[in-house]
Structure 1
Amino acid sequence: MTALENELKAFIIETLNLEDVTVEEIDSEEPLFVEGLGLDSIDALELGVAIQKKYDVRIDAKNEDVKTHFASVRNLARFIEQSGKEG
């Protein structure tokens, strides 16, 4: 588990006000939506905007890769790291 993954877990909890969830309870590989953490489309929009602001990355909702990027904490961390290298 990377430092960025832990940071993202805390950020997700804080941004979405997930009061009953701790960083330790979120598996980096578990899905963020539906059967995993159980986030929904409203959470996705809120989280996407917050991530763009905090990490200065561009998320194109029309890009097919967005679903892959938001599939898990680990994928999201990879996306942020790669976006930082490109910018």
Structure 2
Amino acid sequence: MSALKLELKEKIIEQLNLEDLSVEEISDSEPLFGEGLGLDSIDALELIVMLDKDYGIKLADPKEGRKIFESIDTMAAYIEANKS
């Protein structure tokens, strides 16, 4: 598991208060919303704030978040390509 993916899982658990989940229980390719991890629109806002605060990435269009927050894999790829 890449260091960034591990870091993302830890941050998601901490940021969204998912204490009942462990890093090992979050699959890299599992959907974060809906059937997968079960996150909702409020969680998406928290993830947008996390991207800005921790990685210096500002999402101008919240619709971008749909693609970016599909899974840990897609988040990691986006951060690698766009972090400041």
- Is TM more than 0.5 here? yes
How many angstroms does 1:61 deviate by? 2.6
Contact 2:48 2:58 in 1 (8 A): no
Please give the per-residue CA displacement for 1:46-66, whole angstroms capped at 9, x wherever unaligned: 12112211111121235x543
| Amino acid in the other structure paired with 2:68 | H
Query: Post-superposition, which runs of at least 4 consecutive aligned residues in structure 1 deviate over 2 A?
Result: none
TM-align CA RMSD: 1.2
Superposed CA deviations along residues 11-62 of structure 1, whole A, max 9, x for unmatched, are 0000000011000000010000010000000000012112211111121235
Cα drift, residue 67 of structure 1:
1.2
Identify the range of structure 1 (51-60 vs 73-82) with the bigger mean alpha-carbon deviation. 51-60
What is the total number of aligned residue pairs between the two structures? 84
Q: Is the contact between residue 60 and residue 66 of structure 1 (CA under 8 Å) also seen in structure 2? A: no
- Counterpart position of 2:43: 43
Which residue in the other structure is 2:28 paired with? 28
Letter in 1 for 2:2: T
**Do 1:70 and 1:76's aligned partners in 2 also have CA atoms closer than 8 Å?**
yes
